Amino acid sequence: MQRIVLHEVGPRDGLQVEKTVVPTPRKEAWIKSLLAAGIDLVQAGSFVHPEKVPQMADSDALIRGLVDSGVDPGRLSGLVLNEKGLDRALASGVGLVCMGVSASDTHSRKNTGMGTDEATARIVATARKAVEAGRQVQVSVQSAFGCGFEGPVAEERVLAIVRAYAEAGLNHVSLADTAGHAWPEQVERLYAAAAKAAPGADWACHFHDTYGTGMANLYAALRSGVTTFESSFAGLGGCPFTRVAAGNVATEDVVHAFQREGRRTDVDLAGLVEVSRSVAEFFGREMPGRVQKTGPIGPRTPAAPAGEAKG
């Protein structure tokens, strides 16, 4: 059974579109609870301009505070969009630096002010600088499965970015369904093509549930050999620079599904549900995630042998 790495992105992707700013101590408590529950990595924030994304204005102080309090920096990640952001990330002590390029030229310009080609060159250079500084790096292709502005995105645009990463020695790669347009067959096809473009890469996935296919796409990625799964507590999230900002696949739903198959039974699902319910209480509304509302069910019972009745 392949290994599964759980990368919680709620404190960044989940909160970035929320208008109510979460106080730093509350974020810190949520992150520590997620880590205590057994989540492998938590994306604590992004190093972006505070006026553009006010919710992330405290990312530097938040991560420094977590590290100073004894949290292993290797279990924390942060999103970087440019060289200045990387300098801030390095100063914060975060262990994993995440950065990416959108395969949609329109989305790239709205998100970074650069077209895809320029963004690719700059992100590759920035990622190599992070590697030279001794940090772990994950690079991503955003809008890999479609764009809210442009619609379908040519697979060759995605693969060109993947090849650029491979040529630069960047082998931890995530394909992100920023607009939530992916469907399972497309997911399997694109990961198969990407694996040929970057042999030996360690693959991650990031799915939004905009049109209700998030979990199906996640399982398609699992079948494709993906090992790192990004999700958000309570199903929060959405890119503020796409046409329809919708939530990620909910972390507690992902863990619940995996545990029914006997995977990642080391994770404290009740602890994750408690965090998600705290998030719902803080924002004062119902959240997209299912399990924090319905409660979990136990592991799947193995089927009885043929001809053997079950009492």
**Using CA atoms, how far apart are residues 46 and 227, in angstroms rounded to an integer?**
23
- What is the percentage of the chain residues whose pLDDT exceeds 70? 93
Show the CA angle centred on residue 299, arms to residues 226 and 32, nearest 5°.
65
Q: Give mean pLDDT, residues 51-58.
A: 92
pLDDT tens, residue by residue, 148-158: 888 899 999 99
Q: Is the pLDDT of residue 55 over 60?
A: yes
Q: What is the mean pLDDT of residues 101-111?
A: 86
Structure tokens at 158: 């995605």
Work out the number of other CB atoms within 10 angstroms of the CB of residue 127. 25
Identify the band that residue 108 occupies on the pLDDT scale cut at 50, 70 and 90: confident
pLDDT of residue 60: 97
Contacts of 134 (CB under 8 A, 6+ apart): none
What pLDDT digit, counting tens, does each position of 182-221 carry? 999 999 999 999 999 999 999 999 999 988 999 999 999 9
Domains and CATH numbers, the chain: 5-294 (3.20.20.70)
Known catalytic residues? 239
Q: What is the pLDDT of residues 25-51, one digit of tens each?
A: 999 999 999 999 999 999 999 999 888
Q: Are 83 and 114 in contact (CB under 8 A)?
A: no
pLDDT at 173 > cutoff 90: yes
CA distances in angstroms from 121 to 47, 125, 161, 167, listed in the order given? 19, 6, 10, 12
Instruction: Give the pLDDT band (50/70/90) at residue 122.
Output: very high
- For residue 243, is pLDDT > 70? no
Under 8 Å between Cβ of 194 and 162:
yes
Calculate mean pLDDT across residues 2-31: 94
Q: Which residue has the higher pLDDT, 306 or 286?
A: 286
Q: Is the dihedral of CA 270, 271, 272, 278 positive or negative?
A: positive
What are the DSSP E strand ranges found in the chain? 5-8, 41-47, 76-80, 96-102, 136-142, 172-177, 202-207, 228-231
- 304, 66 contact by CB (below 8 A): no
pLDDT score recorded for residue 167:
97
Q: Residue 245: is its pLDDT beyond 60?
A: no
Please give the pLDDT value at position 299.
Answer: 61
SS3 for 182?
Answer: coil
Q: Can you give the C-alpha Rg of the chain in angstroms?
A: 19
Burial 210-220 (b: 16+ CB within 10 A, else e): beebbbbbbeb
What pLDDT was estimated at residue 307? 42
Q: Flag whether pLDDT at 136 surpasses 80.
A: yes
Asked whether the CA dihedral 214, 220, 222, 226 is positive or negative, the reply is: negative
Torsions phi, psi of 278, nearest 5? -65, -40
Task: Identify the pLDDT of residue 2.
Answer: 78
Average pLDDT, the chain: 91
pTM as predicted: 0.92
